[in-house]
Chains A and B, each alone.
Chain A
């Protein structure tokens, strides 16, 4: 039955075909042909065009002109021509051929040309030579390194210390050893460049709080707490750190450590402290900002400092509990992948520590001198003193900026140059203007050391005063 019906349909169709008008058939034929063409032609012609031929590629390669490796530097760039120091950069310094009293090097305790330090370094040089020819892991660990780590840990009253061969690399390696992608770091806006680089290497989320403003920090911590409550799963694995400096390099101010510690426990964030300026300066025994505020050092998770200021050697160290510090021995990049500290520099640091331990009075003397010059420098027309009275490194900034950084820098440089002509060696605080997260205003950095006598401090203050008056008025 079914086949009969189909046949009938077929016959009908053929009949319809015969009956259809010619124009209709032609139209349909064309339509069919067009459909076939559509079916067999390539759908996207765009694709074909984007495939470059070898010749086109060659042309592109030929055409490409890279930027020069470095942009040209003008001959009078303020940072191009360095001061040249002939001889040792100690208390009396010869800068560009002029004899000056040094108010620029961070030689706070005057240990740079201390004969005992030199003798210890010399003895080490005669035993070990200069270089270590290897990283700590591969026969680059010397008995002197172990001694120094031990001594630093004991001095700071912590469980363990670890030394780096470069001050800058210390905090810059320590931060990324703990803080990873996804972790959150709360950091002071005035934090120094080494901290900024460490944070960048860690790839963590960075939250900047206003300089020394604990209310602002608490606001950020609270915001984070609310965020954490929304996503408790993520919060359980997100580490939180607060990074601060003991004595800020860029501002000369002390961090409010007691408040920081309170916030630490309230919001469960670990504290990392950079103490390059405060180590060997603050506190009765020079243990830094924890001693200054009488804070239990175990409340601070990690303290980092360089040995290039008070200790007048080279390198840096971190100290804290073994649980924290030991991790850097495998994860601190600047520790694992760099040659270790030359033993003579470690020996010099040990001797410098000895001197610090034997003469705790030295820190009170330094503080006294800081206060004296700080007071003497008040009230200079056109210049303001920025920084705390007990900070041995503080800044002189223009009271009124000319609104152009370039001009400000020139004015300050003129003051520095004239002071230098009159026997006071000073320097501007240098920054990489494009790289700094929060660029501090231009300033002259004045450094106080225990070697400067009262007369020299007076002379420096009066010289700066006079020069500032001639330059700025």
Chain B
């Protein structure tokens, strides 16, 4: 049985003692008992009016025993790390890592030894779970090049064999546009033959092709904004445009789990950065209020402007930003909002317009709409959309427009064709079907995993599905066992996650058929039993009730 999109039945939680907020309490959470429910209703009613749809987001607490065992695990690994470093130092164990040139031995060492301790002793043991090279389209199934290591992952040898037809649960191919056939590929091929692959100049000099202008018009109409600008790299879209928007004397309020590119952009801007708790609106409001009331530290001048940086879907948590509340706060405190839709554009909302569409909000309420073409559109690059004044300013002041080579024409064509397909401009309903398929796949997959008893983070509509592993040894074991069963998954640990919250992450795709998902689920179930990963006790705690301490830290760049 598959739940239809928007269907009510699937919102019912699994588990004997769970109860769910009904239609009246729109911002509902799953709760452990009726008694606890009474104490939490204020969250539900407080913000409920802003949401036009149920917002079910849960983060089950880490079981105490698991947390203790995880720390013990890291403790053992660290002890062994020191032991082996000791053995390496006395040359009892063979050193595999590259060393400094003899001629430069008396230079100040390039790395701090501690920096590499983690890499050498923890990461190296399970390195085979990352950077697995593939040799096919990153579609629903993928061919992986087989590799072996004879020196405990210090080096890899390719056997020349390929593992064919591995189920791909790792690529960000949300709408299934990573394809080597079909209209997108044909259009891209045509443009490639006409234009070549490169541009050899920047937008402001002589690298502004008619194709780029066409793309930007389309992006603006897709997003429902006045104008848009496209850039050659998603990461650089953030890191090279935030400095154009804010500077010294401005304040950036950034979610603690924001992507590295947002953090880098914020740092390069020279503005003061304050961090609020992940998706925690009380924390954000407190920072906003304090910022306006107290102004800049030391100089006591009022802030020039305040920019809130949030993401649509957080790629490691699977959570969706509480956009209606963020917009309400931003309006109340006259701040500006920068929304990074890297993972949500195309993947959320009834028409695939991202998180704004998902909540049924007005795109004009978001000052800077940023997103990437890498994921849902199966291409590369990023964009910024917004008011015409904003885009005009960026056209003249964006670092990217002045100093970086513009987008490759065949890549542009892929984006144009994919976007037209999503908008239904190609005369088919293919795009719409893909969006629906993804939404259905997401709900089905998440529901089944919860039923199996795994701890799953995030919003029930988010196609990014983190499954908690916790213990360091299970990171490697899960990745390897799944590959043995022909399922490619992404596993992540420290430093991408908090040290005890290692997890596996599945990214759903419209290209996944029910058979593929069922096979993957069967294997996950099996490995879950094997590795004892079914931690869930069905006590789901809403995010707002996670401990909220008022300490925030601040950093100022000069």
Q: Which residues of A contact B (CB under 8 A)?
A: 52, 57, 60-61, 64-73, 77, 79-80, 82-90, 93, 95, 102, 104-107, 111-114, 117-118, 121-122, 125-134, 136-143, 145-146, 159, 165-169, 178, 192-194, 197, 200-201, 203, 235-240, 265, 268-270, 298, 306, 308-309, 311-314, 321-324, 326-327, 329-330, 333-334, 336-339, 341-342, 344-345, 348, 425, 427-432, 435, 445
- In the complex the two chains form, is A64's CB within 8 Å of B180's CB? no
Other than A126-B189, A324-B110, give 14 A-B pairs with Cβ distance below 8 A. A67-B304, A69-B336, A79-B396, A129-B137, A130-B379, A133-B172, A137-B131, A165-B380, A193-B399, A313-B408, A337-B260, A342-B379, A342-B411, A427-B205
Instruction: Specify which chain B residues have a CB less than 8 angstroms from the CB of A130 in the assembled complex.
Output: 178, 184-185, 188, 378-380, 410-411, 414
- In the complex the two chains form, is B236's CB within 8 Å of A121's CB? no
Is residue B208 within 8 Å, beta carbon to beta carbon, of the partner chain?
yes
Instruction: Specify which chain A residues have a CB less than 8 angstroms from the CB of B207 in the assembled complex.
Output: 85, 89, 105
Once bound together, how far apart are the Cα atoms of A269 and B172, in whole Å?
42
- In the complex the two chains form, is A125's CB within 8 Å of B192's CB? yes
- A342 and B380 in contact, given A122-B193, A133-B173, A139-B168 (Cβ under 8 angstroms): yes
- In the complex the two chains form, is A117's CB within 8 Å of B196's CB? yes
- Tally of contact residues, B, Cβ under 8 A: 120
A-B contact pairs, 30 of them (CB 8 A): A57-B289, A64-B302, A70-B245, A73-B393, A80-B396, A83-B206, A86-B210, A105-B207, A112-B196, A117-B197, A118-B193, A118-B197, A126-B185, A129-B179, A129-B185, A132-B138, A139-B142, A197-B399, A201-B264, A308-B199, A314-B199, A323-B110, A327-B110, A330-B123, A338-B234, A339-B234, A345-B411, A428-B205, A429-B205, A435-B243
Minimal beta-carbon separation of A164 from chain B (angstroms): 9
- In the complex the two chains form, is B404's CB within 8 Å of A166's CB? yes
Minimal beta-carbon separation of B238 from chain A (angstroms): 10
| One of B93-101, B421-429, B432-440 at the interface | B93-101
Instruction: Specify which chain A residues have a CB less than 8 angstroms from the CB of B234 in the assembled complex.
Output: 338-339
Once bound together, how far apart are the Cα atoms of A428 and B172, in whole Å?
40
**What residue of chain A has the Cβ atom nearest to residue B232's Cβ?**
A166
Once bound together, how far apart are the Cα atoms of A350 and B200, in whole Å?
17
User: Within the complex, which residue of A61, A69, A84, A345 is in contact with B213, where a contact is CB–CB below 8 Å?
Assistant: A84
- In the complex the two chains form, is A143's CB within 8 Å of B188's CB? no
- In the complex the two chains form, is A69's CB within 8 Å of B305's CB? yes
Minimal beta-carbon separation of B404 from chain A (angstroms): 4
Instruction: Specify which chain B residues have a CB less than 8 angstroms from the CB of A85 in the assembled complex.
Output: 206-210
User: Within the complex, which residue of B170, B335, B400, B409 is in contact with A134, where a contact is CB–CB below 8 Å?
Assistant: B170
User: Within the complex, which residue of B203, B367, B403, B411 is in contact with A82, where a contact is CB–CB below 8 Å?
Assistant: B203
Once bound together, how far apart are the Cα atoms of A200 and B28, in whole Å?
45
Give per-residue flags for B130-165: 1 if the beta carbon is below 8 A from chain A beta carbons, else 0: 111111111100100100000000000000000000
Q: Which of B209-266 contact A (CB under 8 A)?
A: 209-210, 213, 232-236, 240, 243, 245, 259-261, 264
- In the complex the two chains form, is B197's CB within 8 Å of A344's CB? yes
- A137 and B380 in contact, given A105-B199, A168-B400, A339-B234 (Cβ under 8 angstroms): no
User: Within the complex, which residue of B168, B196, B261, B557 is in contact with A118, where a contact is CB–CB below 8 Å?
Assistant: B196
Once bound together, how far apart are the Cα atoms of A428 and B173, in whole Å?
40
- A270 and B107 in contact, given A95-B206, A141-B131, A312-B198 (Cβ under 8 angstroms): yes
- In the complex the two chains form, is B171's CB within 8 Å of A134's CB? yes
**What residue of chain B has the Cβ atom nearest to residue A306's Cβ?**
B405
Nearest 3 Cβ contacts at the A-B interface = A70-B393, A166-B233, A323-B98
Instruction: Specify which chain B residues have a CB less than 8 angstroms from the CB of A169 in the assembled complex.
Output: 233, 235-236
**What residue of chain B has the Cβ atom nearest to residue A79's Cβ?**
B396
**What residue of chain A has the Cβ atom nearest to residue B184's Cβ?**
A130
Once bound together, how far apart are the Cα atoms of A131 and B175, in whole Å?
13
Is residue B43 within 8 Å, beta carbon to beta carbon, of the partner chain?
no
Instruction: Specify which chain A residues have a CB less than 8 angstroms from the CB of B305 in the assembled complex.
Output: 66-69
Q: Which of A80, A126, A139, A165 is the most central at the interface, judged by chain B CB atoms within 10 Å of its CB? A: A139
Instruction: Specify which chain B residues have a CB less than 8 angstroms from the CB of A265 in the assembled complex.
Output: 103
Minimal beta-carbon separation of A471 from chain B (angstroms): 20
**What residue of chain B has the Cβ atom nearest to residue A120's Cβ?**
B197
- In the complex the two chains form, is A321's CB within 8 Å of B98's CB? yes
- In the complex the two chains form, is A88's CB within 8 Å of B204's CB? no
Is residue B553 within 8 Å, beta carbon to beta carbon, of the partner chain?
no
Is residue B293 within 8 Å, beta carbon to beta carbon, of the partner chain?
yes
Minimal beta-carbon separation of A392 from chain B (angstroms): 12
